[in-house]
Amino acid sequence: ALIVFALILILVSKKAIGPIITTYHKQREFITNAGHELKTPLAIISANTEMEEMLGNDSEWNKSTKEQVDRLTRLINRLIALARTGETGEVVLNKVNFSKIVKKNVTSFKSVMQKNDLKYNAMIMPDLYVKAERNILSELTNILLDNARKYCDRDGEVRVSLTKGKLGTNAILRVANTYKEGKGKDYSHFFERFYREDESHNSKKSGFGIGLAMAQEIVQTFHGKIHVNHKDDMIVFTVILRLAK
């Protein structure tokens, strides 16, 4: 009787969650398709703006339009990557040089950090290899660096370190930025999509978008761990990935 009951329960459960699974996959498919469709008008807007500049109409409004187009393009790319990352079998993991990727991205952010008058320090241990996908791992690093730049206190500091764990089995990436107001805050929701400290739609506080949610999904895809904590007036994001043999 128990076996029959268990079989019936399994069949009913599968039937019950079937529509949920179908909706989940359709949602990811929609995000991917919509993202690709949105890229076309954004490319046209960008081209038109550049043409205006070539014709001598280089104004602050054109500059603002270009900045917003770039922002939307990055957002769309992240939405597509976030949808794809969750699909089983979509990502093939290979042995990649984590140190080289972090060093390259740290260098690319140098001018942006200086423009924002932020102190910028990096310590990267060479030749640390992990099992990952090169482009997605690079995007993970970019998300954390961009997040640090965006939410760092005025005239604050951004620190980046890539080291080997104490037991010599893990590569540990830490990206920290000055965030004095972060002491005592609840960080358990920081990796939720579009998380806001204030749920009011009229709030002037900015949310954390999809960047950190995407970072978490990427790390999980690489079978690693990511967590956040606050120490010495700095918010610290830590990524732990196993070293590849």
CATH number reported for the structural domain that contains residue 151 in this entry: 3.30.565.10
Residue at which a domain ends, from 53, 85, 117:
85
Domain limits for position 76: 2-85
Q: What is the pTM of this model?
A: 0.68
Q: Please give the pLDDT value at position 201.
A: 37
Looking at the structure, do residues 62 and 151 belong to the same domain, yes or no?
A: no
Q: Give me the mean pLDDT over the 20-26 stretch.
A: 63
Q: Please give the pLDDT value at position 148.
A: 92
Q: Please give the pLDDT value at position 205.
A: 43
Higher pLDDT among residues 53 and 154, named by residue: 154
Looking at the structure, do residues 106 and 147 belong to the same domain, yes or no?
A: yes
Return the C-alpha torsion angle 42, 201, 237, 187, nearest 10.
Answer: -160
Looking at the structure, do residues 14 and 36 belong to the same domain, yes or no?
A: yes
Encode pLDDT of 89-116 as tens digits. Answer: 567 889 999 999 999 999 988 988 988 8
Q: Residue 25 sits in a domain of what CATH number? A: 1.10.287.130
Q: Give me the mean pLDDT over the 114-138 stretch.
A: 92
Looking at the structure, do residues 214 and 164 belong to the same domain, yes or no?
A: yes
pLDDT of 199 over the 60 cut: no
Looking at the structure, do residues 161 and 224 belong to the same domain, yes or no?
A: yes
Looking at the structure, do residues 80 and 116 belong to the same domain, yes or no?
A: no
Looking at the structure, do residues 132 and 103 belong to the same domain, yes or no?
A: yes
Looking at the structure, do residues 105 and 68 belong to the same domain, yes or no?
A: no
Closest by CA to 74, choosing from 42, 44, 106, 100, is 42
Helices 2-54/60-85 angle, 10° precision: 160
Looking at the structure, do residues 155 and 224 belong to the same domain, yes or no?
A: yes
Residue at which a domain ends, from 56, 85, 114:
85
Q: For residue 50, give both structure tokens.
A: 């550049």
β pairing state of 234-242 and 170-178: antiparallel
pLDDT band at residue 162 using 50, 70 and 90 as cut-offs:
very high
Calpha distance 206→154 (Å, rounded): 16
pLDDT of 22 over the 50 cut: yes
Beta strands in 106-224 (DSSP E): 119-124, 129-132, 157-164, 170-178
Residue at which a domain ends, from 85, 111, 127:
85
Looking at the structure, do residues 102 and 36 belong to the same domain, yes or no?
A: no
State percent of the chain over pLDDT 70.
77
pLDDT of 180 over the 60 cut: yes
Looking at the structure, do residues 45 and 134 belong to the same domain, yes or no?
A: no
Q: For residue 72, give both structure tokens.
A: 């939307």
Calpha distance 124→134 (Å, rounded): 17
State the CB neighbour count (10 A cutoff) for residue 120: 21
Q: Please give the pLDDT value at position 204.
A: 38
pLDDT band at residue 67 using 50, 70 and 90 as cut-offs:
confident
State the CB neighbour count (10 A cutoff) for residue 222: 23
How many folded domains does the chain comprise? Answer: 2
Q: In degrees rounded to 5, what are phi and psi of residue 169?
A: -110, -15
